[in-house]
Amino acid sequence: MAPPLLHLRDIRLTFGGRPLLDGAEIAVSAGERLGLVGRNGSGKSTLLKIAAGAVEADEGERFVQPGATIRYLPQEPDLSGFETLRSYVEAGLAPGDDAYRAIYLLGSLGLTGDERPGSLSGGEARRAALARALAPEPDVLLLDEPTNHLDLPAIEWLEAELRRSRSALVLISHDRRFLQTLTRATLWLDRGKTRRLNQGFGAFEAWRDDVLAEEERDRHKLDRKIEMEKDWLRYGVTARRKRNQGRMRALEVLRQTRKDARGPQGGVKLTVTEGETSGALVIEAKRVSKSFGERPIVTDFSTRIARGDRVGLVGANGAGKTTLLNLLTGQLAPDEGTVKVGSNVTVATIDQRRASLDPDMSLRDALTGAKGDTVEVGGQSKHVVSYMKDFLFEPEQAGSPVKALSGGERGRLLLARALAQPANLLVLDEPTNDLDLETLDLLQEMIADYPGTILLVSHDRDFLDRTVGSVIAAEGDGLWTEFAGGYSDMVAQRGRGVDARAAASAPSPKRRSSEVAAPSPSKKKLSFKDQHALDTLPKTIKALEAEITRLEARIADPALYTKDPAAFAAATDALGKAQAERAAAEDRWLELEMMREELAG
């Protein structure tokens, strides 16, 4: 195995008297694809910050190969001090990096680069931070939840971009499909320690379950041994006569071992409060249309949703998914057409913006409606603190304001509140945001067991495949089409995934429009010199690529530097020169090709 570019060894960090990291390790070699997984609160983001050098551990060693470049995408980027997004992204480039790539990435993520950081939404700030991390094409990319706030077209674009990248990846994500596509090894952070599986995320969950089952068997054996020793202490003849101190000390060691063996972190307990049974027909929409100004959101859409249906809504950000939800549930009147909501339909909603949460309200009041200390769940009265524990909240958080919660905690709070409401129609608008994999599994099981009807908006392709029976997809210009099955079935029937909005189309990666002179109106064709360059540059680029491949293979020989340092240095210089020549040739060819297209047009 190649020597690591980045190595964390025996990392220890304590928060509030409890060890968060207790001997964690990461080793990242060139080109590696590593998924970092674990429960919310297990310390994944903290470990990634230590790897990036943004946080210092209490103990342990951080090693970075000399000359290796590392870029880090935090969950909450800081854009202060920059006039525009373009200046923010370009500030992350090193000398020799391609400035055109920064513009290309901004455009691909739906940004122009002229936006002011102070006026951005949280999603736009994260997309700008993603462009800044990807632009230099570093040796190691540390990405903390890169798909947060991205829609399906952007997620699939990012997947393709990372698959093409030569950078090593360390990736935190709760998007199963994203992890399965990109990872080749998995690092599990659990109870402060890391365990490595040299397979991608697709093999991780079965392996994790085997590890936990083996731990449970070991704990059971230890418990039995402790009981045997306690019996000996009570009834053994030798014990009564001589009080065998060695054996008693051994019993104390067993007890301490059992005490120190931290079990897996508790899981969320999802209990649904069922409302009255609705009628067989829950929603019927006939030729519904809705526009805002001159922009059509929904055009001539019809559907019938029966009791027990699970319907997913997919589309790019801004396509109108939330508007369509509001039309179907009767919260918004259509411009044309009719929507009929069936009899005895009661709705519980989780909204993507968490807008229904009062940031100044305490957790206790958010769950009880400021009416005492109990919650009605599943027809039974339950103390609010006990109900909070089902969703992994600590008792001392009962009086904490909602604004003090993390994104994942707010997601769990909304789940807790929605599931306590008597309802037979659950409207889930991006419920998977910030939830860990185990909670997603439980939410999936709850959806499967729920006796009522569910409308689900999500950008999580795997979650859609596991939960819905049909998908309503945005086709653009207000058109929506319903497909049987999950997201993968929709792709198979439609021939493609969710379409990106035209406004988010990317500019060329190698050209700034302001830097290529427009041809003179009187000019009808390229000059002989320019046409010759356009014809011959592809061969030049191909020859340079072959030379770059040859030099990279020569430099990769571990014996070259030892045997002949001068030859190694010469090959390194030649590689840099060839890469610069290729970049210049590509820039020139693209410039000429654009000029040719403009003249032809």
pLDDT band at residue 235 using 50, 70 and 90 as cut-offs: low
- Asked if residue 148 belongs to a known ligand binding site, the reply is no
- Asked if residue 510 belongs to a known ligand binding site, the reply is no
Query: What is the amino acid identity at position 209?
Result: D
Region of poorest pLDDT, from 93-107, 138-152, 156-170, 240-254:
240-254
Sheet holding 59-64, edge to edge: 18-28, 6-15, 59-64
Structure-token pair, residue 560? 């070259």
Average pLDDT for residues 264-285, to the nearest whole number?
Answer: 67
Supply the pLDDT for residue 354: 56
Average pLDDT for residues 241-259, to the nearest whole number?
Answer: 57
Pick the residue with more confidence: 336 or 588? 336
From the list 161, 85, 174, 87, the residue with the least C-alpha distance to 125 is 85
Sheet holding 336-341, edge to edge: 295-306, 281-292, 336-341
- Asked if residue 322 belongs to a known ligand binding site, the reply is yes
Supply the pLDDT for residue 512: 37
List pLDDT tens digits, range 59-77.
999 999 999 999 999 988 8
pLDDT above 80 for 246: no
From the list 40, 127, 130, the residue with the least C-alpha distance to 405 is 40
Residue 484 exposed, middle or buried by CB count within 10 Å (0-12, 13-18, 19+): exposed
Supply the pLDDT for residue 51: 96
From the list 48, 55, 134, 119, the residue with the least C-alpha distance to 89 is 134
Supply the pLDDT for residue 36: 95
Neighbours of 417 (CB within 10 A): 22
List pLDDT tens digits, range 17-67.
778 899 999 999 999 999 999 887 788 999 999 999 999 999 999 999 999
- Asked if residue 319 belongs to a known ligand binding site, the reply is yes
- Asked if residue 378 belongs to a known ligand binding site, the reply is no
Supply the pLDDT for residue 136: 92
Q: Phi, psi (5° rounding) for residue 431? A: -75, -15
Supply the pLDDT for residue 381: 81
pTM comes to: 0.68
Supply the pLDDT for residue 209: 85
- Asked if residue 12 belongs to a known ligand binding site, the reply is no
Sign of CA dihedral 402, 76, 42, 200: positive
Residue with token string 């590890």: 211
pLDDT above 70 for 113: yes
pLDDT above 80 for 244: no
- Asked if residue 389 belongs to a known ligand binding site, the reply is no
- Asked if residue 266 belongs to a known ligand binding site, the reply is no
d(C-alpha 441, C-alpha 466), whole Å: 10
Mean pLDDT computed over every residue of the chain: 81
pLDDT above 90 for 370: no
List pLDDT tens digits, range 311-353.
999 998 888 898 999 999 998 999 999 999 988 888 888 766 5
pLDDT above 90 for 435: no
**Within a 13 Å sphere around the CA of 268, how many CA atoms are in the beta-carbon half?**
27
pLDDT band at residue 273 using 50, 70 and 90 as cut-offs: low
- Asked if residue 321 belongs to a known ligand binding site, the reply is yes
Kindly write down the DSSP assignment for every residue of 249-315, as one continuous string: HHHHHHHHHHHH-PPPPP-------B-PPPPSEEEEEEEEEEEETTEEEEEEEEEEEETT-EEEEE-
Supply the pLDDT for residue 258: 53
- Asked if residue 318 belongs to a known ligand binding site, the reply is yes
Supply the pLDDT for residue 520: 39
pLDDT above 90 for 559: no
Region of poorest pLDDT, from 173-182, 274-283, 302-311:
274-283
- Asked if residue 476 belongs to a known ligand binding site, the reply is no
List pLDDT tens digits, range 453-512.
999 999 999 999 989 999 999 998 899 999 999 999 999 888 888 876 533 333 334 333
Supply the pLDDT for residue 544: 84
Percent of the chain with pLDDT over 90: 32
Q: What is residue 153's three-state secondary structure?
A: helix
Average pLDDT for residues 384-403, to the nearest whole number?
Answer: 82
Region of poorest pLDDT, from 243-247, 408-412, 448-452:
243-247
pLDDT above 60 for 270: no
Neighbours of 274 (CB within 10 A): 13
Give kind and range of the element (H or E) at residue 247: helix 245-260
- Asked if residue 45 belongs to a known ligand binding site, the reply is yes
Supply the pLDDT for residue 403: 80
Rg (CA), the chain: 29
d(C-alpha 207, C-alpha 32), whole Å: 20
pLDDT band at residue 271 using 50, 70 and 90 as cut-offs: low
